[in-house]
Amino acid sequence: MSSKSVLIIDDSPSLRILSSKWLEKAGYKSIQANDGEEGLRALMLNPDIKVVLLDMMMPKMNGLEFLEKVKMAKGMMGFKVCMLTAKEDQKDIERTLEAGARLYCKTCRRDDPGR
């Protein structure tokens, strides 16, 4: 098992579980959080986190709010952030990249013809 951890922040339990299983199969330790608030706590408790998979739309604290909080505490930016979300508005993409996300990946929707 790798000493590198990946934090999955998503309010969908099924997406967290699926992502976690995929990451653990690849040799990574995965940590799960239900929203941005839980994600911030997980970052404080797990300094070995190297990547954050982040949803945009969540209760309590959404993905953009999470990024803005992390950006304010610059010492916490020892990791890369990949947005993993169904939101595809260009303004949302630009805002999250400006806030510190490295990648922005659109998830498949049931009505997506490319699926």
What is residue 114's predicted lDDT score, i.e. its pLDDT?
40
Nearest to 2 by CA among 24, 28, 21: 28
Note whether residue 112 is domain-resident. Answer: no
Does position 6 have pLDDT exceeding 70, yes or no?
A: yes
Tell me, what CATH number does 34's domain have? 3.40.50.2300
108 against 95, higher pLDDT: 95
What residue type is assigned to position 111 of the chain? D
Distance between CA atoms of residues 25 and 45, nearest Å? 23
Note whether residue 115 is domain-resident. Answer: no
What is residue 108's predicted lDDT score, i.e. its pLDDT?
45
Residue 2 · residue 28 · CB < 8 Å: yes
C-alpha Rg value of the chain to the nearest Å:
14
Note whether residue 72 is domain-resident. Answer: yes
Note whether residue 113 is domain-resident. Answer: no
What is residue 105's predicted lDDT score, i.e. its pLDDT?
67
Query: pLDDT, tens digit, for every residue of 47-105?
Result: 889 999 999 889 999 988 998 888 777 655 678 888 877 767 778 777 777 777 776 66
Query: pLDDT, tens digit, for every residue of 8-35?
Result: 999 999 999 999 999 999 999 999 999 9
What is residue 115's predicted lDDT score, i.e. its pLDDT?
36
Strand order in the sheet with 49-54: 29-33, 5-9, 49-54, 80-85, 103-106
Q: What are the DSSP calls for 17-44, one per residue? A: HHHHHHHHHTT-EEEEESSHHHHHHHHH
What is residue 103's predicted lDDT score, i.e. its pLDDT?
66
Note whether residue 65 is domain-resident. Answer: yes
What is residue 107's predicted lDDT score, i.e. its pLDDT?
56
Q: Domain of 84?
A: 5-106
Q: How many domains does the chain have?
A: 1
